[in-house]
Amino acid sequence: MIVRLVDGVPRRALWLAIGLLVLALAAPAFVGDYLLTVLILILYFAYVGQAWNIMMGFAGQLSLGHALYVGLGAYTAAALYVHFGIGPWLGLLVAAPIAALAGAFVGFLAFRFRVAGVYFAILTIAVAEFARIGFDHLGWTGASAGLFLPVAQYARNDLWHLRGHPAMFYYILLAATVFAFVGCYALMQSRVGYFWLAIREDEEAAKASGIDTFHYKMVAVIISAGMTSFAGVIYAFYYNNLFAEQIFGIGRSIEIILGPIVGGIGTLFGPVLGSFVLTGLAEMLTAALAAVGVDVPGAKQVFYGICLLLVIILVPDGIWPWLARKLGLKERQP
Amino acid sequence: MSALLEVGNVSKRFRGLVAVDRVSFAVEPGTIFAIIGPNGAGKTTLFNMIAGTSAPDGGSIVFAGERIDALPADRVCRRGIGRTFQVVRPFPGLTVEDNAMIGALLRRRHTETARAHAHDVLRRLDLYDKRAQRAAALTLPDRKRLEVARALATDPKLLLLDEVMAGLRPTETDRMVAILRELNRERGLTILLIEHVMRAVMALAARVLVLHHGAAIAEGPPNEVVRNEAVINSYLGVEDVA
Amino acid sequence: MSADVYLNVAIGGVLTGLVYGLMALGLSVIFGVVRVVNFAHGEMMTIAMYLAIAAFSAFHLDPLLMLVPIAVTLFAFGYVLQAGLINLFITRAEHSQFLLLVAIALIIVNVLLILFGPDAQNVQVAYAFDSFQIGRIIIDATKLYAGVAAIVVTAVLFAFFRYTATGTAIRACADNYTGAQVVGLDVRRLYALTFGLGAACVGAAGTILLLIFDVTPAAGPAYTLLAFVIVITGGLGSMPGALVGGVLIGLTEAMAGLLFTPSAKSMFAFAILVLVLLLRPQGIMGRGTA
DSSP B133-166: SBGGGS-HHHHHHHHHHHHHHT--SEEEEESTTT
CA distances from A267 to A57, A173, A192, A219 (A): 7, 20, 16, 19
Inform me whether the pLDDT recorded for A126 exceeds 90: no
A with C: touching (≥3 Cβ pairs within 8 Å): yes
Asked if the C-beta of A286 comes within 8 angstroms of chain B's C-beta atoms, the answer is: no
Asked if the C-beta of A130 comes within 8 angstroms of chain C's C-beta atoms, the answer is: yes
Which pLDDT score is estimated for B238?
A: 67
Which pLDDT score is estimated for C1?
A: 59
**Could you tell me which of B226, B224, B231, B219 has the C-alpha nearest to residue B38?**
B231
**C126-142 pLDDT tens trace:** 777 788 888 878 888 88
CB contact under 8 A, A201 and B93: yes
CA distances from A40 to A90, A176, B166 (A): 23, 12, 57
Distance from CA of C178 to the nearest CA of A (A): 23
Asked if the C-beta of C280 comes within 8 angstroms of chain A's C-beta atoms, the answer is: no
CB contact under 8 A, B94 and A201: yes
Question: Residue A307: closest CA among chain C residues belongs to which residue?
Answer: C103
CA atoms within 13 A on the CB side of A165: 11
Taking contacts as CB-CB distances below 8 angstroms, the residues of chain A near C274 are: 109, 123, 126-127, 130
Contact B108, B114 (CB under 8 A): yes
CB contact under 8 A, C271 and A130: yes
Cross-chain CB nearest to A309 (options C104, C229, C281): C104
Which pLDDT score is estimated for B145?
A: 92
Inform me whether the pLDDT recorded for A156 exceeds 80: no
Which pLDDT score is estimated for C289?
A: 43
Highest mean pLDDT among A57-66, A199-208, C57-66: A199-208
A18-44 average pLDDT score: 86
B159-173 average pLDDT score: 90
The residues pairing with C139 across neighbouring beta strands, listed in sequence order, are C132
Cross-chain CB nearest to A306 (options C107, C225, C273): C107
Taking contacts as CB-CB distances below 8 angstroms, the residues of chain A near C232 are: 119, 122
Lowest mean pLDDT among B88-97, C19-28, C144-153, C256-265: C256-265
Which pLDDT score is estimated for C118?
A: 86
Which pLDDT score is estimated for A331?
A: 58
* Chain-centre distance for alpha carbon A50: 5
Cross-chain CB nearest to B74 (options A194, A211, A333): A211
pLDDT band (50, 70, 90) for residue A147: confident
List the subunits that have 3+ CB pairs under 8 angstroms with B: A
Which pLDDT score is estimated for A78?
A: 92
pLDDT band (50, 70, 90) for residue A13: confident
Taking contacts as CB-CB distances below 8 angstroms, the residues of chain C near A115 are: 277-278, 281
The enclosing H or E element of C133 equals strand C131-134
Which pLDDT score is estimated for B239?
A: 63
Distance from CA of B78 to the nearest CA of A (A): 5
Taking contacts as CB-CB distances below 8 angstroms, the residues of chain C near A125 are: 225
A268-272 average pLDDT score: 88
Which pLDDT score is estimated for C165?
A: 83
Select the residue from A66, A105, A111, A122 to test the C interface by mutation, using most C Cβ atoms within 10 A: A122
CB contact under 8 A, B91 and A212: no
Inform me whether the pLDDT recorded for A1 exceeds 60: no
Taking contacts as CB-CB distances below 8 angstroms, the residues of chain A near C288 are: none
pLDDT band (50, 70, 90) for residue C37: confident
List the subunits that have 3+ CB pairs under 8 angstroms with C: A
C with B: touching (≥3 Cβ pairs within 8 Å): no
Q: Which sign does the torsion angle of CA A266, A272, A273, A279 carry?
A: positive
Which pLDDT score is estimated for B17?
A: 86
CB contact under 8 A, B150 and A194: no
More reliable by pLDDT, C5 or B27: B27
Q: Which amino acid is at C281?
A: P
Asked if the C-beta of C277 comes within 8 angstroms of chain A's C-beta atoms, the answer is: yes
Distance from CA of C197 to the nearest CA of A (A): 23
Helix, strand, coil percent content, chain A, rounded in steps of 5 = 75, 0, 20
For the CA atoms of C52, C56, C60, C66, the dihedral, rounded to the nearest 10 degrees, stands at 0
Contact C277, C232 (CB under 8 A): yes
Surface-to-core class of residue A182, CB atoms within 10 Å of its CB (0-12 exposed, 13-18 middle, 19+ buried): middle
* Chain-centre distance for alpha carbon A137: 26
**C238-268 pLDDT tens trace:** 778 888 889 988 888 888 878 777 666 777 7
**Could you tell me which of C50, C229, C2, C7 has the C-alpha nearest to residue C137?**
C7
Asked if the C-beta of C50 comes within 8 angstroms of chain A's C-beta atoms, the answer is: no
Inform me whether the pLDDT recorded for A334 exceeds 60: no
Question: Residue C95: closest CA among chain A residues belongs to which residue?
Answer: A118
Query: What is the pairing mode between strands B66-67 and B158-162?
Result: unpaired
